[in-house]
Structure 1
Amino acid sequence: MRDRVQDWKEAVHIACEPLIEQNYCTTAYEDAIYEITEKLGPYYVLCENLALIHASNQSGVNDTQMAVTVLKEPVKFKPDGYDVRVLVTLVAKDSESHMEGIQAVSNIFSDEKKVQKILDATCPKEIFDLFISNACEK
């Protein structure tokens, strides 16, 4: 959880940081996200409040994991884009192992009440519990 960031690059850095620190990926993964964003734009901003940040599994991936960063103040990834407050950073070692995490994100962001719970969360455990309970939903 963070109050604010200066721009989308700082948002990506903050969102990747725990995954790099815990060795799920290297800084090459973060660099790949910057490169692809500058080349293609922020294709991973899926809707208001949500960015599902990711890059190729060829770019410094060690294992599959997801990290969630919630900002109190939104950031824009492009001037006319959505306001983003929830950054879900996905690192996947292959094309299959992350599907449960994607399902949890889908379950949460298709329900406005669940999204609001994330936006209103006061501690990381509230967010973690919501993602864990939704990973179990089919």
Structure 2
Amino acid sequence: MLAEYLKDNIQIIDGGGIDWQEAIKISAKPLLESKSIQEEYVDSIITIAKKEGPYMNIGPKIVLAHARPLKSTKKVSLSLLKTEKEISFIDDNHDAQLWFVLAAVDNESHLDVIRDLSRLLMNKEAVSAILNSTTVEEIIKIITEE
């Protein structure tokens, strides 16, 4: 299931010279292009992160960017930006290379996606393999095998 959500929504970039806000915007770009979300949702994520701090840093090198369901969220969706270089999220104590953006339309329909993503991210070998991947195809293969 996770691979279905991510198959067209994974990007890999160097990441040098960009900040965490730009990383979130780049990660969300496929969701914007597919009209799964609107710009207002991305703005909401950034506003919340500025206000609440780095709680979206859910594990070493992993950010799960999200906001409450809004009218600008059109369908449950997930994207991933993998950066070759670490980018500080909010402060220097929270570096990340895996930038997920999760969009939910209500309080329940995205729970299967979170369950599957949690299962993947609890597997340290899978996370390490994703971090070492150089192509989108490699990442999809890892996610599919998980």
**Is residue 2:51 matched to residue 1:51?**
no
Equivalent residue number for residue 70 of structure 1: 82
Instruction: Spell out, residue by residue over 1:12-71, the C-alpha distance to the aligned partner (whole angstroms, 9 max, x if none).
Output: 111111100110000000110111111111221111111011011125100011011111
Q: d(CA) in 2 for partners of 1:55 and 1:131?
A: 24
Unaligned regions of 5+ residues in structure 2, if any?
Answer: 1-11
Counterpart selection for 1:105 from 95, 117, 121: 117
Equivalent residue number for residue 129 of structure 1: 141
Are the equivalent residues in 2 in contact too, given 1:36–1:55 (CA < 8 A)?
yes
Q: Secondary structure at the match of 2:13?
A: coil
Unaligned regions of 5+ residues in structure 1, if any?
Answer: none
Q: d(CA) in 2 for partners of 1:115 and 1:59?
A: 32
| Percentage of matched positions with identical amino acids | 28
Aligned residues: 134
Q: Could you tell which deviates more after superposition, 84-93 or 35-44?
A: 35-44
**TM-score normalised by structure 1 residue count:** 0.89
Higher relative CO (Cα under 8 Å, sequence separation at least 6) belongs to: 2
Equivalent residue number for residue 44 of structure 2: 32
Q: CA RMSD in A?
A: 1.5
**Is residue 2:18 matched to residue 1:10?**
no
Are the equivalent residues in 2 in contact too, given 1:49–1:86 (CA < 8 A)?
yes
Equivalent residue number for residue 96 of structure 1: 108
Q: d(CA) in 2 for partners of 1:110 and 1:49?
A: 13
